[in-house]
Structure 1
Amino acid sequence: MTSTSLPQPAATARPAAVPDDVVGRRVRSLRKPWQWVLTAVVIVLVLNFGQTLFTNRSWEWPKVGKWVLHPAILQGVLVTIEATAIAAVASFVLGVLVALARQSNNVVLRSLAWFYIWVFRSVPLLVVLLFLYNLPNLYPAIGIGIPFGPQLQVPTTSILGDLALGALGLTLSETAYAAEVVRSGLLAVDNGQHEAAKALGIPRYRQLTRIVLPQALRSIVPSYVNQIIGLIKSSSLLFYVSLLDLFGVAQNLASTYPTDIIPLLVVATIWYLVLTSLISIVQFYVERYYNRGLKGAR
């Protein structure tokens, strides 16, 4: 009887001997002196700029304190919030409808949605506002009824007040961008979700409201909040259609008090920073709400 030898396991490679002078030493990261130099330069520049803010008397900080809570400025802030809030809500709702039309199988709806987005993304907001401001000259009355037949008409000026005109202009322009944001969010939802919902026989409107849209909001919310921040800044153009928003009030006061131009611009800047910061805080909590359940979400 012959004995067969079993294969022996390969010898484990033994680590090379570590020199005694290396044992116990701390591992240090590679030094990058240029990063420290660049950081020092940036800090010096920031400190110098900060110093000029408080030592340069041309900023006139006492006047900034006088104007920042002035009733006229606060009224302008209120108008800015109202116009932005109306436009933000209306443009999101209309943006969802336009995005759905853009993805529709109906050629007419799809073409009209594409045409709307193409026009209002191409035309500057100021031009849209000026057209609306001169709308009573083009159409003294607005009506609805049978084409070339009897119509119910009302004067244009009775419908479009200053606030309504400004909010309408912002809404028309913003809807085109909101539609593309919503459409990108809808396309980001995995196609398997749609197929699973169809297989379960869920009606289409419930597929949209209960399955697709809640998932799409995870990608829609950050982009649309950026649009709202841009909307707040775009509201400064309402001054050119006689709506006294924050920037419009600051401009009027600057024309009345020409020596306070810089302080009034600083006041407007401060309020825009406050408004956009508040929107960013809301964005954080909304994102956290829609991202709950995701790995790594906070």
Structure 2
Amino acid sequence: MNLDFTQIVPYIPFILKGIGATLQFVSISIVVGFILGTILAICKITKVPLLKWLADAYTSIFRGTPLILQLMIIYFAVPQLTGFDITAFVSAVLAFGLNSAAYVSEIIRAGIMAVDKGQTEAAEALGVPYKSMMLNIILPQAFKNILPALMNEFITLTKESAIVSTIGYLDLMRRAQIVGADIYRNFEPLLVAGLIYWVMVFILTKIGGLVERRMRQSD
């Protein structure tokens, strides 16, 4: 096998910088997705038909089209329409955040629906306002139930983050590609990038399991 890892040793610090770049936009994206997803989930269970329709339409569009297409539209097509350039970082955050919101909204909606209806009936009987009921009674119970699913979404975003290399964002994958082009060897840097992705996902999985156990113990 024609392998020579010694050539990429000087490039290791350059590749490792991609970890921070990757986690930075993924973390912001998951926050955007969580906030917007929560709003969408509440709209889906509301009794206002228009809000429910808009939330369902949003979810259908973003779940029914490829993430890379959404990224390309934001980075290439939106500037064409608006005349304003969007940086690769902002494009990545918007694409991943908006896409994640569609999936998170379904996760949260399912979590809300799984909460015992008696909780809602009791709150209504006591005259608790809808907003207070959702924020203080329903959502805390729902989030505890859906934490594993939310953690899986975070892990999925971390793995799918590699597609931002297509718009030139210097994430982990893009840096590995640059190293491969520089030394005319692609297998070694891509293998190193793959190992780093695996380590990140492994750590995130362990953290998710730890948080889940802590929450179960607090019940």
Query: Normalising TM by the smaller chain, what interval?
Result: over 0.9
Larger RCO (alpha carbons 8 Å, 6+ apart): 2
Q: Secondary structure at the match of 1:105?
A: coil
Shift of 1:70: 2.2
Q: Is the 8 A contact 1:214 1:290 kept in 2?
A: no
Which whole-Å CA distance do the structure 1 matches of 2:82 and 2:184 have between them?
39
Correspondences of 1:257-276 after superposition (within 5 Å): 257-259=183-185, 261-276=186-201
Unaligned ranges ≥5, structure 1:
1-56, 141-155
Which whole-Å CA distance do the structure 1 matches of 2:124 and 2:206 have between them?
37
Alignment correspondent of 1:221: 147
Is 1:283 the counterpart of 2:208 in the alignment?
Answer: yes
Q: Secondary structure at the match of 1:243?
A: coil
Q: Is the 8 A contact 2:123 2:133 kept in 1?
A: yes
Shift of 1:61: 5.0
Shift of 1:205: 2.2
Aligned residue among 103, 121, 134 for 2:45: 103
Q: Is the 8 A contact 2:32 2:98 kept in 1?
A: no
The structure with the greater share of residues assigned to helix is 2
Q: Secondary structure at the match of 1:291?
A: helix
Q: Is the 8 A contact 2:37 2:105 kept in 1?
A: yes
Alignment correspondent of 1:199: 125
Alignment correspondent of 2:61: 119
Q: TM-score, normalised to structure 1's length?
A: 0.69
Shift of 1:292: 2.6
User: Higher Cα Rg: structure 1 or 2?
Assistant: 1
Which whole-Å CA distance do the structure 1 matches of 2:22 and 2:88 have between them?
12
Shift of 1:202: 2.1
Is 1:139 the counterpart of 2:82 in the alignment?
Answer: yes
Which whole-Å CA distance do the structure 2 matches of 1:178 and 1:60 have between them?
43
Which amino acid in 2 is paired with 1:280? T
Shift of 1:77: 1.2
Which whole-Å CA distance do the structure 1 matches of 2:110 and 2:4 have between them?
47
Which whole-Å CA distance do the structure 2 matches of 1:181 and 1:59 have between them?
44
Which whole-Å CA distance do the structure 2 matches of 1:61 and 1:188 have between them?
51
Correspondences of 1:64-75 after superposition (within 5 Å): 66=9, 70-75=12-17
Which whole-Å CA distance do the structure 2 matches of 1:58 and 1:191 have between them?
63
Aligned-pair Cα RMSD in Å: 1.7
Q: Is the 8 A contact 1:217 1:290 kept in 2?
A: no
Q: TM-score, normalised to structure 2's length?
A: 0.93
Which amino acid in 2 is paired with 1:97? I
Q: Secondary structure at the match of 1:240?
A: helix
Which whole-Å CA distance do the structure 1 matches of 2:106 and 2:143 have between them?
13
Alignment correspondent of 1:129: 71
Alignment correspondent of 1:79: 21
Which amino acid in 2 is paired with 1:279? L
Shift of 1:161: 1.8
Which amino acid in 2 is paired with 1:232? T
Q: Is the 8 A contact 2:38 2:104 kept in 1?
A: yes
Worse-superposed segment, 91-100 or 278-287: 278-287
Which whole-Å CA distance do the structure 2 matches of 1:226 and 1:105 have between them?
30
Which whole-Å CA distance do the structure 2 matches of 1:72 and 1:271 have between them?
13
After superposition, give the CA deviation of every residue in 1:75-101 in whole Å (9 maximum; x if it has no partner): 211110011101111101110000101
Which amino acid in 2 is paired with 1:262? F
The 1:207/1:285 distance shift into structure 2, 3 A limit, reads: farther
Between the two proteins, what is the percent identity of the paired residues?
31
Shift of 1:200: 2.0
Which whole-Å CA distance do the structure 2 matches of 1:210 and 1:289 have between them?
20
Is 1:238 the counterpart of 2:181 in the alignment?
Answer: no
Which whole-Å CA distance do the structure 2 matches of 1:270 and 1:139 have between them?
40
Is 1:94 the counterpart of 2:36 in the alignment?
Answer: yes
Q: Is the 8 A contact 2:19 2:172 kept in 1?
A: yes
Unaligned ranges ≥5, structure 2:
none
How many pairs align?
218
